[in-house]
Amino acid sequence: MWKKIKQLIFIILILNVVFIVWGRFFNPPITITQIGGLLEYGKLQRDYISSDEMGDKVKKAVIASEDQNFFVHDGFDYKAIERAMKSNEKGKKLRGGSTISQQTAKNIFLWQGRSWFRKGLEAFYTFIIEKIWGKDIILERYLNSIEMGQGVFGIEAASQYYFKKHAKDLTTSEAAWIAAVLPNPKKYDPNNPSAYLSRKHNWIMRQMRNISLK
């Protein structure tokens, strides 16, 4: 019995290694979150594109919105995590400290949720993809897999869904609108923005001026 358990663990580890290395070169065929969106909304609107096809505006917008230290941290923004913990201890609105790298690990390899077990796996995968994939690939995988609406995944699908154009053709304002729906894409709609979403859009526009992709 114990021998079979060890064999199963070994097989799982090997499959994980293969999938991680494979992800260095290819986008995931499908993710657990995408399956969830398909089951919930009856559609999977997704169109994987290369980093060059994304254009710089949407990259800057998402980095400005989600993780301004993306290119300088090692996968974990410890100051952001500390701020989030202090905010939560004070009973304020729950804030996350997740980086783009952590969100990519969660979106590609795991499922949505807040359990310590899932967070532990997220930390493991984050560490690995930072070492094996690097920043540019992590950002490309993130922008292709992130949920951007009800059954809409990735910035190309979001660009087509909200603005009827390719991601690389988005204006600065349009890119900021797409980024503004994060991290609650099911709740917000750039074409029918709330007062909060409008304020966030304007904030992202200002922050984009300080974002460098080099």
Q: How many domains does the chain have?
A: 1
Q: Does the residue 176 lie in any domain?
A: yes
Q: What is the pLDDT of residues 41-93, one digit of tens each?
A: 989 999 999 999 999 999 999 999 999 999 999 888 787 767 766 666 655 55
Q: Which domain does 182 fall in, by range?
A: 29-208
* pLDDT value of position 4: 65
Residue 134 tokens read as 């690097």
Question: Would residue 15 count as lying in a domain?
Answer: no
pLDDT above 90 coverage of the chain, percent:
63
| CATH number, domain with residue 139 | 1.10.3810.10
pLDDT tens-digit profile of 140-187? 999 999 999 999 999 999 999 999 999 999 999 999 999 999 988 888
Q: What is the pLDDT of residue 3?
A: 63
Strands 152-153 and 45-46: parallel
Strands (E), the chain: 45-46, 147-149, 152-153
CA 124, CA 74: separation in Å to the nearest integer? 13
> Do the domain assignments include residue 37?
yes
CB within 8 Å of 30: residues ≥ 6 apart? 44
- Quickly count: other Cβ atoms within 10 Å of residue 3's Cβ: 7
Cα(160)–Cα(175) distance, integer angstroms: 12
In a domain, 10, yes or no: no
Question: Does residue 162 lie in a domain region?
Answer: yes
Evaluate whether residue 14 is within a structural domain.
no
Report the chain's mean pLDDT, rounded to a whole number.
88
Asked if 79 and 95 count as a contact pair (C-beta separation under 8 A), the reply is no
Is 49 part of any domain?
A: yes
* 133 found inside a domain: yes
Contact, 47 vs 132, CB < 8 A?
no
pLDDT value for 115: 80
